[in-house]
Structure 1
Amino acid sequence: MISRRTGLAATAAALLTGASGPVAAATAPHRRLPGPRNRLQSDVDAVLATGATGVLAEVQSARGRTTARAGAAGLRTPDRPVPWDASYRIGSDTKTFTATLALQLVGEGRLALTDTVERWLPGAVRGNGNDGRRITVADLLRQTSGLNDHLAVSPDAADAFTPDGYRRSRFRTTAPEDQLRAALSKPPLWLPDPGRPAGERRWGYSNTNYVVAGLIIEEVTGNPWAQEIHDRIIEPLGLRHTFTPGTSPYLPHPTATAYTWFPGCAEPTDTTLASGGGADGSVVSTTHDHGVFLRALMSGRLLRPAQLAAMKETVVAEDWSAAPGVRYGLGIAWRPVAGSRGGIWFHGGTHLGIVSESGVTPDGARAATSATFSLRMGDPAQDAQDLATLRLVDRALTA
Structure 2
Amino acid sequence: MPAARTVRTLLAVGLVAGITVAALAAPAAAAPPAEPSHAATQQALDATVAEGVPGAVAQARDGKARWVGTAGERKGSDRFRVGSITKTFTATVLLQLQAEGRLDLDDPVEKWLPGVVRGHGHDGRKITVRQLLNHTSGIYSYTEDPAFQEKVFGSGFLQHRYDTWTPKQLVAVATAHEPDFAPGSSWNYSNTNFVLAGMVVEKVTGRPYGKAIENRIVKPLKLRATSAPGTDSRMPEPNSRAYSKLSNETGGPTYDVTELNPSIAGAAGEMVSDANDLQTFYRALLKGRLLPAAEMKEMTSTVQVSPDLPGVGYGLGLMRQKLSCGKEVWGHGGGIHGSHSEAQATRDGERSLAANLNADWTGDTQKLIEAEFCGTAPAKR
- Map of 1:62-141 to 2, 5 A cutoff? 62-72=63-73, 82-141=74-133
Distance 1:309 1:107, change over 3 A: same
Corresponding position of 2:305: 317
- Name the CA distance, whole Å, in 1 between partners of 2:69 and 2:5: 27
Shift of 1:64: 1.7
- Name the CA distance, whole Å, in 2 between partners of 1:159 and 1:212: 22
State the SS of the aligned residue for 2:78: coil
Counterpart amino acid of residue 254 in structure 1: P
Shift of 1:244: 1.0
264, 277, 280: which one aligns with 1:289:
277
**Contact conserved, 2:13 with 2:268, CA < 8 A, in 1?**
no
State the SS of the aligned residue for 2:53: coil
Counterpart amino acid of residue 336 in structure 1: K
**Contact conserved, 1:16 with 1:151, CA < 8 A, in 2?**
no
State the SS of the aligned residue for 1:245: coil
Counterpart amino acid of residue 172 in structure 1: D
**Contact conserved, 1:340 with 1:397, CA < 8 A, in 2?**
no
Counterpart amino acid of residue 152 in structure 1: E
TM normalised by structure 1 equals 0.82
Counterpart amino acid of residue 46 in structure 1: A
TM normalised by structure 2 equals 0.86
**Deviations 1:175-223, CA, capped at 9 Å, x for gaps:** 001111111111211222xxxxxxx351011110001111111111111
- Name the CA distance, whole Å, in 2 between partners of 1:266 and 1:324: 37
State the SS of the aligned residue for 1:105: helix
1:353 aligns with 2:342: no
- Name the CA distance, whole Å, in 2 between partners of 1:137 and 1:326: 22
Corresponding position of 1:148: 140
Corresponding position of 2:46: 45
Counterpart amino acid of residue 232 in structure 2: S
1:268 aligns with 2:267: no
State the SS of the aligned residue for 1:374: coil
**Contact conserved, 2:319 with 2:331, CA < 8 A, in 1?**
yes
Corresponding position of 1:332: 318
Equivalent pairs counted in the alignment come to: 350
Distance 1:16 1:103, change over 3 A: farther
- Map of 1:1-399 to 2, 5 A cutoff? 5-6=5-6, 14-15=13-14, 36-72=37-73, 82-153=74-145, 155-163=147-155, 165-192=156-183, 200=184, 202-263=186-247, 264=249, 265-276=251-262, 277-318=265-306, 325-341=311-327, 343-376=328-361, 382=362, 385-386=363-364, 389-398=365-374
Please, which runs of 5 or more residues in structure 1 have no aligned partner? 18-34, 73-81, 193-199, 377-381
Shift of 1:91: 0.1
Shift of 1:121: 1.1
Shift of 1:70: 0.3
- Name the CA distance, whole Å, in 2 between partners of 1:296 and 1:332: 14
Counterpart amino acid of residue 155 in structure 1: A
- Name the CA distance, whole Å, in 2 between partners of 1:7 and 1:306: 29
**Contact conserved, 2:243 with 2:338, CA < 8 A, in 1?**
yes
- Name the CA distance, whole Å, in 2 between partners of 1:156 and 1:350: 16
- Name the CA distance, whole Å, in 1 between partners of 2:5 and 2:90: 21
Please, which runs of 5 or more residues in structure 2 have no aligned partner? 17-35, 376-381
**Contact conserved, 1:131 with 1:191, CA < 8 A, in 2?**
no
- Name the CA distance, whole Å, in 2 between partners of 1:128 and 1:14: 23
Distance 1:235 1:294, change over 3 A: same
**Contact conserved, 1:90 with 1:281, CA < 8 A, in 2?**
yes
- Name the CA distance, whole Å, in 1 between partners of 2:41 and 2:199: 39
- Name the CA distance, whole Å, in 1 between partners of 2:313 and 2:5: 14
**Contact conserved, 2:135 with 2:188, CA < 8 A, in 1?**
yes
Larger RCO: 1 or 2 (CA < 8 Å, sep 6+): 2
- Name the CA distance, whole Å, in 2 between partners of 1:106 and 1:268: 45
- Name the CA distance, whole Å, in 1 between partners of 2:326 and 2:283: 17
- Name the CA distance, whole Å, in 1 between partners of 2:5 and 2:274: 24
- Name the CA distance, whole Å, in 2 between partners of 1:159 and 1:339: 41
- Name the CA distance, whole Å, in 2 between partners of 1:201 and 1:344: 26
Shift of 1:398: 4.0
